């Protein structure tokens, strides 16, 4: 009996087959062994499936990112471990208190004849000549730009030079302070009249050039021929590829009714990669885009889109509280950035996933 019990505890199939075989005689001895065989098979199947279940559990856990889950108990459902921790237990967003005056800073500030630029106390405006590469030319060694934007611009021009083999882009204008803008406005007004000046030159305080995020470019060939980008097809590249570096053609001819500025195939503005992509892909000028984003508040549906590099982005809008500080909701554990819109609120941009 003892030996038989031990056999039953252990995966018994071989034992009972041996038992059955050992008899090798008449069929009346078959009923009892048959029941035992069936039982044995059931037990075997149960043992195997339990073992394989444990294996798949242990195989999945370490491959997941949740190292913190390693000291978890075995009662955790093995398959769901990797999906759960980011989900329900950890809040996806946290609050962040910012000064409401920060609506006047960031990549997405809208500066136009309606919304004045608020010159910040400290902005790193640098001389382009000090940081320039050989991929482009400068109309003047006094031209300036925001330092961060200049680095991104240098990257874009390196891309253009390697793609098209052209290094004859010239920067004609970059950062301008209010008095420089005043001078430009007055000189255009004197030379071409008020109507021309109003069509092309913003009044001091209302020019995008104040931001240090905008610049005017043209072509100046080695044989000293000047032309605008729309006069040489190589420079179409800037129309369809500058968004991959976060820049937009700011004043398109078919948007002049909205921007209030006539076509300027030379004026480019940095807004950041996902936004430049979305505006380009959906044919929106900055005024339209800023309006559109108000439809995607934190509480409602967020704007989610995949850019042409297959990165998935999430964008939403949070209105300024109107008092000194505004409580934002930002992703708790994902990379994000916040920009003011220079009008009435903040735009939060985050990567949703990276593929
Ligand atoms: Zn310009």
Question: Which residues make up the environment of ion ligand 1, defined by Cβ < 5 Å?
Answer: 216, 267
More confident residue, 133 or 78: 133
Kindly state the average pLDDT of the residues 235-260: 96
Instruction: Report the run of H or E that residue 351 belongs to, with start and end.
Output: strand 345-353
Contact (CB, 8 A) for 215 and 169: no
Conformational region of residue 185, where left means phi above 0, alpha means psi within -120 to 50, and beta covers everything else: alpha
Q: Are 192 and 198 in contact (CB under 8 A)?
A: no
- The helix/strand/coil state of 136 is coil
Nearest to 320 by CA among 120, 99, 117, 93: 99
Cβ neighbours, 10 Å, residue 111: 24
Percent of the chain's residues with pLDDT above 90: 70
Q: Give the pLDDT confidence score for residue 199 in this predicted structure.
A: 83
Over residues 278-291, the mean pLDDT reads: 98
Ligand 1 centroid to Cα of residue 211, in Å, is: 11
Does residue 61 register a pLDDT over 70? no
Computed over its alpha carbons, how large is the radius of gyration of the chain?
34
Q: How far is the centre of ligand 1, averaged over its atoms, from the C-alpha of 231 (Å)?
A: 18
Per DSSP, what are the bridge partners of residue 217? 171
Cβ atoms of 112 and 202 closer than 8 Å: yes
Q: How confident is the model at residue 270 (pLDDT cuts 50, 70, 90)?
A: very high
Residue 20 neighbours by CB under 8 Å, 6+ apart: 30, 33, 37
**What are the pLDDT digits (tens) for 4-57?**
444 333 333 333 333 333 334 444 555 555 555 556 655 555 555 544 433 333
If DSSP codes are grouped into helix, strand and coil, which group holds residue 80? coil
Other C-beta atoms closer than 10 Å to the C-beta of 91 total 11
Q: Model pTM greater than 0.85? A: no
**What average pLDDT does the segment 140-164 reach?**
98
- Place 85 in a pLDDT band, splitting at 50, 70 and 90: very low
- pLDDT at residue 268 greater than cutoff 70: yes
Q: How far is the CA of 309 from the centre of ligand 1 (A)?
A: 29
Q: Give the model's pLDDT for residue 6.
A: 41
Which residue reads 């003047």 in tokens?
A: 140
**64 alpha carbon to ligand 1 midpoint, in Å?**
50
Looking at residue 90, what is its pLDDT?
81
Domain 119-270 belongs in CATH node 3.40.50.2000: no
Cα of 273 from ligand 1 centre, angstroms: 20
- Is residue 60 over pLDDT 50? no
Q: Positive or negative, the Cα torsion across 39, 43, 45, 46?
A: positive
pLDDT at 246 over 90: yes
Higher pLDDT, 28 or 199: 199
Give the pair of three-digit tokens for residue 313. 């982005």
Mean pLDDT of 269-287: 98
Supply the residues annotated as catalytic.
264
How confident is the model over 169-191, as a mean pLDDT? 95
Is the Cα torsion angle 68, 73, 79, 83 positive or negative in sign?
Answer: negative
Please compute the mean of the pLDDT values over residues 277-285 and round it to a whole number. 98
Please list the alpha-helical segments (H only) found in the chain.
Answer: 2-9, 13-23, 31-63, 84, 128-131, 147-164, 178-192, 194-200, 237-241, 256-259, 273-281, 286-293
Question: From ligand 1's centre to the CA of 277, what distance in Å?
Answer: 21
- Rounded distance from Cα 176 to ligand 1 centre (Å): 10
Query: How many Å apart are CA 239 and CA 219, to the nearest integer?
Result: 14
The pLDDT of 223-235, averaged and rounded, is: 95
Whole-number pLDDT of residue 10: 36
In Å, how far from its chain's centre is CA 24?
75
Q: For 264, list phi and psi in degrees, rounded to 5.
A: -130, 90
180 CA distance to ligand 1 middle (Å): 13
Q: Which residues of the chain are in CATH 3.30.200.180 domains?
A: 94-108+273-355
Whole-angstrom distance, CA of residue 213 vs CA of residue 223: 30
pLDDT of residue 121: 87
For residue 195, the tally of other CB atoms under 10 A from its CB is 9
Q: What is the pLDDT of residue 40?
A: 62
CA of 124 to the centre of ligand 1 (A): 19
Q: Is 319 exposed, middle or buried (0-12, 13-18, 19+ CB in 10 A)?
A: middle
The domain 94-108+273-355 is classified under which CATH number: 3.30.200.180, 1.20.58.410, 3.40.50.300, 3.40.50.11440?
3.30.200.180
Residue 44 has a pLDDT of 56
Average pLDDT (131-159) is 98
In eight-state DSSP terms, residue 64 is: S
94 C-alpha to ligand 1 centroid (Å): 39
pLDDT higher than 60, residue 171: yes
Domain with CATH 3.30.1380.10 in the chain: 119-270
Instruction: Check whether 248 has a pLDDT greater than 70.
Output: yes
């Amino acid at each position: 009996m003892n030996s038989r019990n031990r056999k039953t505890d252990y995966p018994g199939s071989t034992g009972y087959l041996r038992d059955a075989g050992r008899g090798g005689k008449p069929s009346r001895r078959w009923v009892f062994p048959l029941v035992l065989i069936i039982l044995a098979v059931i037990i075997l199947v149960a043992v195997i499936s339990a073992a394989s279940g444990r294996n798949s559990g242990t195989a999945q856990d370490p491959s997941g990112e949740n190292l913190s889950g390693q000291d978890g108990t075995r009662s955790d459902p093995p398959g769901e471990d990797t999906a759960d921790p980011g989900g329900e237990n950890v809040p996806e967003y946290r609050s962040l208190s910012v000064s409401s005056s920060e609506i006047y800073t960031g990549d997405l500030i809208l500066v136009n004849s309606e919304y004045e630029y608020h010159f910040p106390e400290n902005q790193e405006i640098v001389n382009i000549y000090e940081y320039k590469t050989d991929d482009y030319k400068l109309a003047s060694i006094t031209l300036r730009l925001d330092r961060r934007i200049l680095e991104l611009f240098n990257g874009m021009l390196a891309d253009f030079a390697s793609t098209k083999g052209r290094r004859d882009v010239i920067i004609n204008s970059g950062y301008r302070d209010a008095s420089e803008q005043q001078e430009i406005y007055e000189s255009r007004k004197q030379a071409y009249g008020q109507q021309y000046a109003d069509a092309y030159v913003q009044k001091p305080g209302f020019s995008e050039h104040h931001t240090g995020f905008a610049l005017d470019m043209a072509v100046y060939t080695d044989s000293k021929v000047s032309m605008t980008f729309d006069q040489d097809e190589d420079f179409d590249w800037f129309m369809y590829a500058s968004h991959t570096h976060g820049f937009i053609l700011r004043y398109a001819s078919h948007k002049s009714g909205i921007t209030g500025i006539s076509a300027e195939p030379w004026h480019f503005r940095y807004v950041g990669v996902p936004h430049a992509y979305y505006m380009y892909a959906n044919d929106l000028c900055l005024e339209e885009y800023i309006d559109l984003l108000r439809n995607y508040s934190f509480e409602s549906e967020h704007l989610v889109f995949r850019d042409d590099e297959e990165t998935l982005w999430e964008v939403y809008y949070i209105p300024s509280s109107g008092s000194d500080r505004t409580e934002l909701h930002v992703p708790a554990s994902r990379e994000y950035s916040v920009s003011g819109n220079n009008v009435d609120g903040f735009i939060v941009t985050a990567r949703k996933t990276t593929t």
